[in-house]
Amino acid sequence: MGEVILKMKEISKAFPGVQALDKVDFEVKRGEVHALMGENGAGKSTLMKVLTGIYAKDSGTITFEGKEVEFHNTRDAQKAGIVIVHQELNMLGHLTVAQNIFIGREFKKGIRIDDRKMNEETKKLFDRLHIDIEPTETMSNLTVGKQQMCEIAKAISHDAKVIVFDEPSAALTETEIEELFKIIRDLRKQQIGIVYISHRMDEIKVITDRVTVMRDGCYVGTLITEECTKDDIINMMVGRVIYENPKEKSMVAEDAPVVLKVEHLNAGKMVRDVSFELRKGEILGFSGLMGAGRTETARAIFGADAKESGDIYVNGQKVEINSPEEAVKCGIGYLSEDRKRYGIVVHKTVAENSTMACLGDYVRGLFINKKAERNISQDYVNSLATKTPGVDELVVNLSGGNQQKVVIAKWLIRDCDILIFDEPTRGIDVGAKNEIYKLMNRLASEGKSIIMISSEMTEILRMSDRIVVMCEGKKTGEISIEEASQESIMNMATREIG
């Protein structure tokens, strides 16, 4: 690692009713990958938004390449050489890859845009980064992982000296993560400073040089990665011990009734002859590699995608579910892996989101009974320990973990007895994960039945009473938690059935 290229000193930022940053220190050296960690709401994103000119700081100093600076917008920061790759992709699907890379700074031939030149420059950039994507491909045709790679290439094309990666691997497969790490290591060799924000503890140990931890808007400390343990980082993040031991035995009574039975379900190429049962009070884990068909199975059960054949029984009664509305009437709630797209309306309040699945219960004539809506929402804010200034707060202002709690409240207010949790802790930190785990266990103990789809093996082993494993659209195995191990699950997840 070289000299310090970026230094943020005693940065403070307040919003109405919230001290988001309180005298935070942070620095990055040339050729360093510096992790910035903390629970959701710790202030990481706010700090980076202050750095890149999205927010104006209230006090403190930013020194870049030895000079004190203050950026008023992201374009100023980009011109100076500081670029952020956001977790939420900012690409335009109808444009080509090259057009997205150079949008706003297109090459021109006279008054016309020179697409040929942009394609050539994009190809050079991709060759340098070992990215195998055609510059002329339409962005919407790419997988989320490849779109993320294009977002990273776009950042690098700004001749960046410091690049901020905000949860860059959240939507990537294991293979794509390896490619990402190759790019980051190459950038490190070029003496570019990297800020790496991630909740994936294993990645931090593999790719970073130092770790800075924030908690409740404050700087906690900085560690050298190779000299610290995972537990050291977690303790600094949450200020308490987080236990991640696997579940040793099922919590479900042997005579617990079957509440959901799926027989020979077929829906396209990704759901082929899937059968399973879910019992009252059970957490049934669904494991498998990316593209195994787990989400597609859940969507077919919920009526979000059309099924071709197969039978679904709820509490012993055969039901026809052709839409999410019909699924909800059967007592099934679905927490999508993409909560911002399918779970919440971010620019509506906590109260409005909480009652969305049963709004009719709060309509009096032509008007919504806002008092009743707020009261029931407040009850669930209290019972789920949702961190929010109030039920009138816009959901967009909440952390990822608290947004997830609002989605859960929506289905609990609707009184759904069967809950499908699709990647319930994706994009949320270790402390918020622990709260979601406790909540799921509590719901199960109260008689709710949960299908939990997860790509994290530790999560599957920690939470499940029983595990269904899928590969390429088919169920390839089923195992009790007492007999489950990472090896046994992975064997099933890679087993093809003809």
Backbone angles phi, psi at 182, to 5 degrees: -65, -45
Q: Indicate whether 214 and 297 sit together in one domain.
A: no
Cα–Cα distance between 390 and 370 in angstroms, integer?
Answer: 14
Q: Tell me the C-alpha distance between 432 and 283, whole Å.
A: 19
DSSP string, 127-154: HHHT----TTSBGGGS-HHHHHHHHHHH
The Cα 283–Cα 463 span in angstroms is: 7
What pairs with residue 96 in β-bridges?
Answer: 138
Q: How many domains does the chain have?
A: 2
Cβ atoms of 185 and 206 closer than 8 Å: no
Please provide the DSSP assignment of 191-221 as one string: T-EEEEE-S-HHHHHHH-SEEEEEETTEEEE
Same domain, 314 and 463: yes
SS (H, E, C) 383-419: HCCCCCCCCCCEHHHCCHHHHHHHHHHHHHHCCCCEE
Which tokens belong to 269? 């190429």
Residue 249 lies in a domain: no
What is the Cα 14 distance to its own chain's centre?
26
CB-CB neighbours of 367 under 10 Å? 8
Question: What's the pLDDT at 243?
Answer: 57
The token pair that represents 428 in the structure block: 């949320």
In terms of domains, do 125 and 269 share one? no
CA distances from 406 to 346, 386, 440 (A): 11, 8, 14
Q: Which of 259, 229, 234 has its CA nearest to residue 244?
A: 234
Q: Say yes or no: 129 and 263 in one domain.
A: no
Residues 213 and 133 occupy one common structural domain: yes
Amino acid making up residue 416: C
The pLDDT value given to residue 383? 82
Instruction: Examine the domain organization and report whether 183 and 275 are in the same domain.
Output: no
- The residue out of 177, 210, 238 marking a domain boundary is 238
Beta strands in 423-492 (DSSP E): 449-453, 466-471, 474-480
Please check whether residue 127 lies inside any domain of the structure. yes
Evaluate whether 21 touches 3 at the Cβ level (below 8 Å). no
Q: What domain range is 421 assigned to?
A: 258-493
Do residue 232 and residue 267 come from a single domain?
Answer: no
Tell whether 81 is covered by a domain: yes
**Whole-prediction pTM:** 0.60
Residues 355 and 476 in one domain: yes
- pLDDT on residue 346: 85
Polymer length of the chain: 498
Within-domain flag for 231? yes
Q: Residue 404 and residue 399: Cα distance in Å, rounded? A: 9
Name every residue whose Cβ is closer than 8 Å to that of residue 15 and which is 6 or more positions away in sequence.
Answer: none
Residues lower than pLDDT 50 in the chain: 498
Q: What is the pLDDT of residue 498?
A: 47
> Residues 273, 146: one domain?
no
Per-residue pLDDT, 140: 85
Q: Which of 238, 266, 292 is the last residue of a domain?
A: 238
